[in-house]
Amino acid sequence: MPYYASPVDGARLHFVDYGPADGRVAVFVNSAYFGTEMWEHQMLPLAEAGHRCVGFDRRGHGRSDDVWGGSDLDSLADDVDGLLRHLDLREVTLIGHSVGTAEVVRCLTRHGAGRVARIALVAGLAPGPARTVNHPGGVDPALVEAGNREFRQDRAAFFADGADAFFARGLPGNDLSGAYVRSMVDRCHGATARAGAALGDLVVTLDVAPELAAIDLPALVVHGTHDASAPLDLTGRRAADLLPDGTLKVYENAGHGLFATHREQLTADLREFMADDGRV
Protein backbone atom coordinates (compact mmCIF):
# COMPACT_ATOMS: atom_id res chain seq x y z
CA MET A 1 0.00 0.00 0.00
CA PRO A 2 1.33 3.50 -0.75
CA TYR A 3 2.51 5.68 2.11
CA TYR A 4 4.34 8.96 2.46
CA ALA A 5 6.27 10.32 5.42
CA SER A 6 4.77 13.23 7.31
CA PRO A 7 6.99 16.32 7.04
CA VAL A 8 6.16 16.98 10.70
CA ASP A 9 7.56 13.86 12.37
CA GLY A 10 7.96 11.13 9.76
CA ALA A 11 4.69 9.36 10.61
CA ARG A 12 3.63 6.99 7.81
CA LEU A 13 0.43 8.27 6.21
CA HIS A 14 -1.52 6.09 3.81
CA PHE A 15 -2.84 7.57 0.56
CA VAL A 16 -4.79 6.49 -2.52
CA ASP A 17 -4.32 7.80 -6.05
CA TYR A 18 -7.15 7.02 -8.48
CA GLY A 19 -7.66 7.88 -12.13
CA PRO A 20 -5.34 8.94 -14.94
CA ALA A 21 -2.07 10.60 -13.95
CA ASP A 22 -2.68 13.47 -16.37
CA GLY A 23 -6.25 14.23 -15.24
CA ARG A 24 -7.36 17.32 -13.38
CA VAL A 25 -6.32 16.76 -9.78
CA ALA A 26 -8.71 16.63 -6.84
CA VAL A 27 -7.29 16.07 -3.35
CA PHE A 28 -9.76 15.05 -0.66
CA VAL A 29 -9.32 15.82 3.06
CA ASN A 30 -11.51 13.72 5.30
CA SER A 31 -13.88 14.36 8.13
CA ALA A 32 -12.92 13.36 11.65
CA TYR A 33 -12.97 9.59 12.28
CA PHE A 34 -13.21 8.54 8.61
CA GLY A 35 -10.56 7.48 6.13
CA THR A 36 -10.64 7.93 2.38
CA GLU A 37 -13.57 5.51 2.05
CA MET A 38 -15.98 8.30 2.99
CA TRP A 39 -15.47 9.81 -0.48
CA GLU A 40 -16.23 6.66 -2.51
CA HIS A 41 -19.26 8.25 -4.19
CA GLN A 42 -17.15 11.20 -5.34
CA MET A 43 -13.67 9.79 -5.95
CA LEU A 44 -14.68 6.78 -8.05
CA PRO A 45 -17.09 8.58 -10.44
CA LEU A 46 -14.69 11.50 -10.86
CA ALA A 47 -11.76 9.16 -11.53
CA GLU A 48 -13.84 7.24 -14.05
CA ALA A 49 -14.61 10.57 -15.73
CA GLY A 50 -10.90 11.29 -16.17
CA HIS A 51 -9.95 13.15 -12.99
CA ARG A 52 -7.00 12.22 -10.83
CA CYS A 53 -8.43 11.76 -7.32
CA VAL A 54 -6.05 11.61 -4.37
CA GLY A 55 -6.94 11.10 -0.73
CA PHE A 56 -5.15 10.15 2.46
CA ASP A 57 -5.86 8.88 5.94
CA ARG A 58 -5.16 11.49 8.58
CA ARG A 59 -2.70 10.48 11.32
CA GLY A 60 -4.43 8.14 13.76
CA HIS A 61 -7.07 7.32 11.14
CA GLY A 62 -7.55 4.36 8.83
CA ARG A 63 -4.26 2.82 7.73
CA SER A 64 -2.01 5.67 8.84
CA ASP A 65 0.26 5.60 11.86
CA ASP A 66 -1.21 6.28 15.28
CA VAL A 67 1.00 8.82 17.01
CA TRP A 68 0.65 10.97 20.10
CA GLY A 69 1.76 14.28 18.64
CA GLY A 70 0.98 16.28 15.55
CA SER A 71 -2.75 16.76 16.10
CA ASP A 72 -2.57 20.55 16.23
CA LEU A 73 -3.99 22.32 13.18
CA ASP A 74 -0.59 23.48 11.90
CA SER A 75 0.77 19.92 11.87
CA LEU A 76 -2.36 18.50 10.25
CA ALA A 77 -2.13 21.17 7.55
CA ASP A 78 1.55 20.36 7.04
CA ASP A 79 0.55 16.73 6.42
CA VAL A 80 -1.80 17.89 3.65
CA ASP A 81 0.95 19.97 2.06
CA GLY A 82 3.32 17.04 2.45
CA LEU A 83 1.05 14.91 0.26
CA LEU A 84 0.90 17.59 -2.45
CA ARG A 85 4.69 17.77 -2.45
CA HIS A 86 5.24 14.02 -2.26
CA LEU A 87 3.23 13.50 -5.46
CA ASP A 88 4.28 16.87 -6.94
CA LEU A 89 0.65 17.77 -7.57
CA ARG A 90 -0.23 21.00 -9.40
CA GLU A 91 -3.39 22.96 -10.17
CA VAL A 92 -5.12 21.06 -7.39
CA THR A 93 -8.73 21.35 -6.36
CA LEU A 94 -8.46 20.89 -2.59
CA ILE A 95 -11.67 19.47 -1.13
CA GLY A 96 -12.33 19.19 2.59
CA HIS A 97 -15.22 17.91 4.69
CA SER A 98 -16.05 18.97 8.26
CA VAL A 99 -12.83 19.53 10.23
CA GLY A 100 -10.97 18.79 7.00
CA THR A 101 -12.03 22.22 5.75
CA ALA A 102 -9.98 23.83 8.52
CA GLU A 103 -6.97 21.79 7.40
CA VAL A 104 -7.52 23.01 3.83
CA VAL A 105 -7.63 26.63 4.97
CA ARG A 106 -4.56 26.35 7.22
CA CYS A 107 -2.63 24.51 4.51
CA LEU A 108 -3.09 27.49 2.20
CA THR A 109 -2.24 30.13 4.78
CA ARG A 110 0.89 28.24 5.90
CA HIS A 111 2.15 27.06 2.54
CA GLY A 112 0.59 29.34 -0.06
CA ALA A 113 -1.45 28.50 -3.14
CA GLY A 114 1.36 27.62 -5.53
CA ARG A 115 -0.01 24.10 -5.98
CA VAL A 116 -3.70 24.82 -5.45
CA ALA A 117 -6.08 26.29 -8.04
CA ARG A 118 -9.35 26.21 -6.09
CA ILE A 119 -10.93 24.86 -2.93
CA ALA A 120 -14.22 23.25 -1.98
CA LEU A 121 -15.48 23.30 1.61
CA VAL A 122 -18.11 20.59 2.10
CA ALA A 123 -20.23 20.65 5.27
CA GLY A 124 -17.32 22.49 6.81
CA LEU A 125 -16.59 23.38 10.40
CA ALA A 126 -14.54 26.30 9.10
CA PRO A 127 -14.41 29.07 10.17
CA GLY A 128 -15.44 27.48 13.49
CA PRO A 129 -18.81 26.86 15.18
CA ALA A 130 -17.90 27.87 18.73
CA ARG A 131 -18.04 31.35 20.23
CA THR A 132 -14.78 33.27 19.83
CA VAL A 133 -13.66 36.89 19.65
CA ASN A 134 -14.31 36.77 15.89
CA HIS A 135 -17.60 34.94 16.33
CA PRO A 136 -19.55 36.19 19.36
CA GLY A 137 -22.72 34.50 18.12
CA GLY A 138 -21.22 31.03 18.09
CA VAL A 139 -22.03 27.98 20.15
CA ASP A 140 -21.02 28.05 23.80
CA PRO A 141 -17.63 26.28 23.92
CA ALA A 142 -18.86 24.44 27.01
CA LEU A 143 -21.36 22.60 24.83
CA VAL A 144 -18.59 21.46 22.49
CA GLU A 145 -16.56 20.34 25.49
CA ALA A 146 -19.56 18.38 26.82
CA GLY A 147 -19.76 16.51 23.53
CA ASN A 148 -16.05 15.76 23.77
CA ARG A 149 -16.58 14.28 27.23
CA GLU A 150 -19.30 12.02 25.84
CA PHE A 151 -16.89 10.86 23.16
CA ARG A 152 -14.19 10.05 25.71
CA GLN A 153 -16.62 8.22 27.98
CA ASP A 154 -18.22 5.96 25.34
CA ARG A 155 -17.25 6.63 21.77
CA ALA A 156 -19.14 3.54 20.52
CA ALA A 157 -22.40 5.07 21.76
CA PHE A 158 -21.30 8.50 20.54
CA PHE A 159 -21.00 7.21 16.98
CA ALA A 160 -24.07 4.97 16.99
CA ASP A 161 -26.40 7.46 18.68
CA GLY A 162 -25.34 10.29 16.40
CA ALA A 163 -25.69 8.49 13.07
CA ASP A 164 -29.27 9.48 12.28
CA ALA A 165 -28.60 13.16 12.93
CA PHE A 166 -25.31 13.01 11.01
CA PHE A 167 -27.11 11.86 7.86
CA ALA A 168 -30.37 13.71 8.66
CA ARG A 169 -32.20 10.45 8.19
CA GLY A 170 -35.95 10.71 8.01
CA LEU A 171 -35.92 13.89 5.97
CA PRO A 172 -37.06 13.70 2.33
CA GLY A 173 -34.38 12.38 -0.01
CA ASN A 174 -32.04 11.09 2.66
CA ASP A 175 -32.64 7.43 1.93
CA LEU A 176 -29.71 5.36 3.13
CA SER A 177 -29.81 1.67 3.93
CA GLY A 178 -29.36 0.57 7.50
CA ALA A 179 -26.44 -1.52 6.30
CA TYR A 180 -24.65 1.51 4.90
CA VAL A 181 -25.17 3.54 8.06
CA ARG A 182 -23.92 0.69 10.24
CA SER A 183 -20.86 0.31 8.03
CA MET A 184 -20.04 4.00 8.43
CA VAL A 185 -20.46 3.80 12.20
CA ASP A 186 -18.06 0.87 12.18
CA ARG A 187 -15.59 2.82 10.05
CA CYS A 188 -15.51 5.59 12.65
CA HIS A 189 -13.65 3.14 14.86
CA GLY A 190 -10.84 3.23 12.33
CA ALA A 191 -9.80 6.40 14.13
CA THR A 192 -8.05 5.82 17.43
CA ALA A 193 -9.39 7.25 20.68
CA ARG A 194 -6.36 9.55 20.81
CA ALA A 195 -6.88 10.92 17.30
CA GLY A 196 -10.61 11.47 17.78
CA ALA A 197 -10.24 13.16 21.15
CA ALA A 198 -7.49 15.45 19.84
CA LEU A 199 -9.68 16.64 16.97
CA GLY A 200 -12.57 17.28 19.36
CA ASP A 201 -10.30 19.43 21.52
CA LEU A 202 -9.19 21.35 18.43
CA VAL A 203 -12.79 22.28 17.53
CA VAL A 204 -13.40 23.99 20.90
CA THR A 205 -11.19 26.92 19.93
CA LEU A 206 -11.25 26.61 16.12
CA ASP A 207 -11.23 30.04 14.47
CA VAL A 208 -9.90 30.44 10.93
CA ALA A 209 -12.10 33.41 10.01
CA PRO A 210 -9.20 35.80 9.30
CA GLU A 211 -7.53 33.11 7.18
CA LEU A 212 -10.62 32.54 5.06
CA ALA A 213 -10.73 36.24 4.26
CA ALA A 214 -7.16 36.04 2.95
CA ILE A 215 -7.74 33.16 0.49
CA ASP A 216 -7.81 34.63 -3.01
CA LEU A 217 -8.92 31.52 -4.89
CA PRO A 218 -12.23 30.34 -6.34
CA ALA A 219 -14.04 28.59 -3.51
CA LEU A 220 -17.14 26.42 -3.52
CA VAL A 221 -18.96 26.12 -0.20
CA VAL A 222 -21.49 23.27 0.00
CA HIS A 223 -23.68 22.96 3.07
CA GLY A 224 -26.92 21.34 4.17
CA THR A 225 -29.92 23.04 5.72
CA HIS A 226 -30.08 20.43 8.48
CA ASP A 227 -26.43 20.04 9.40
CA ALA A 228 -26.49 19.32 13.14
CA SER A 229 -22.70 19.05 13.43
CA ALA A 230 -21.93 22.35 11.68
CA PRO A 231 -25.04 24.56 11.57
CA LEU A 232 -25.28 26.39 8.27
CA ASP A 233 -25.45 29.93 9.63
CA LEU A 234 -22.54 29.40 12.02
CA THR A 235 -20.18 27.78 9.51
CA GLY A 236 -20.98 27.41 5.81
CA ARG A 237 -22.76 30.72 5.32
CA ARG A 238 -20.07 32.57 7.28
CA ALA A 239 -17.33 30.87 5.27
CA ALA A 240 -18.90 31.89 1.96
CA ASP A 241 -19.28 35.48 3.16
CA LEU A 242 -15.67 35.65 4.34
CA LEU A 243 -14.10 34.17 1.21
CA PRO A 244 -13.28 36.83 -1.42
CA ASP A 245 -14.38 34.51 -4.26
CA GLY A 246 -16.76 32.16 -2.48
CA THR A 247 -19.91 30.57 -3.90
CA LEU A 248 -22.41 28.98 -1.52
CA LYS A 249 -24.59 26.05 -2.57
CA VAL A 250 -27.18 25.00 0.00
CA TYR A 251 -28.62 21.49 -0.18
CA GLU A 252 -32.18 21.25 1.06
CA ASN A 253 -32.72 18.69 3.86
CA ALA A 254 -29.05 17.69 3.83
CA GLY A 255 -27.20 16.92 7.03
CA HIS A 256 -23.49 16.66 7.76
CA GLY A 257 -23.21 13.39 5.83
CA LEU A 258 -24.36 14.88 2.53
CA PHE A 259 -21.46 13.16 0.77
CA ALA A 260 -23.68 10.07 1.00
CA THR A 261 -27.27 11.34 1.00
CA HIS A 262 -26.65 13.88 -1.78
CA ARG A 263 -23.85 11.97 -3.46
CA GLU A 264 -24.85 12.59 -7.09
CA GLN A 265 -25.53 16.28 -6.53
CA LEU A 266 -22.21 16.81 -4.75
CA THR A 267 -20.25 14.89 -7.38
CA ALA A 268 -21.87 16.88 -10.17
CA ASP A 269 -21.20 20.19 -8.41
CA LEU A 270 -17.55 19.29 -7.80
CA ARG A 271 -17.10 18.23 -11.41
CA GLU A 272 -18.62 21.48 -12.68
CA PHE A 273 -16.55 23.54 -10.25
CA MET A 274 -13.33 21.83 -11.33
CA ALA A 275 -14.10 22.45 -14.98
CA ASP A 276 -15.05 26.12 -14.58
CA ASP A 277 -11.72 27.65 -15.52
CA GLY A 278 -11.97 28.00 -19.27
CA ARG A 279 -9.74 24.97 -19.89
CA VAL A 280 -10.87 22.63 -22.67
**Chain centre to alpha carbon of residue 98:** 4
Quote the Cα angle for 79-121-41, to 5°. 90
Catalytic residue among 6, 64, 71, 98: 98
Cβ pair 122, 95 in contact under 8 A: yes
Which residue in the list 79, 81, 227, 269 is annotated as catalytic?
227
DSSP lists the bridge partners of residue 221 as 121, 248
CA distances in angstroms from 187 to 95, 145, 159, 160, 190, listed in the order given: 20, 23, 10, 11, 5
Residue 227 annotated among the catalytic residues of the structure: yes
256 is catalytic: yes
Active-site choice (14, 97, 223, 256): 256
To the query of whether residue 241 is one of the catalytic residues in this protein, the response is: no
What are the E-state strand segments in 83-213? 92-97, 116-122
4: nearest Cα among 77, 70, 87, 61: 87
Q: Mind telling me the catalytic residues?
A: 98, 227, 256
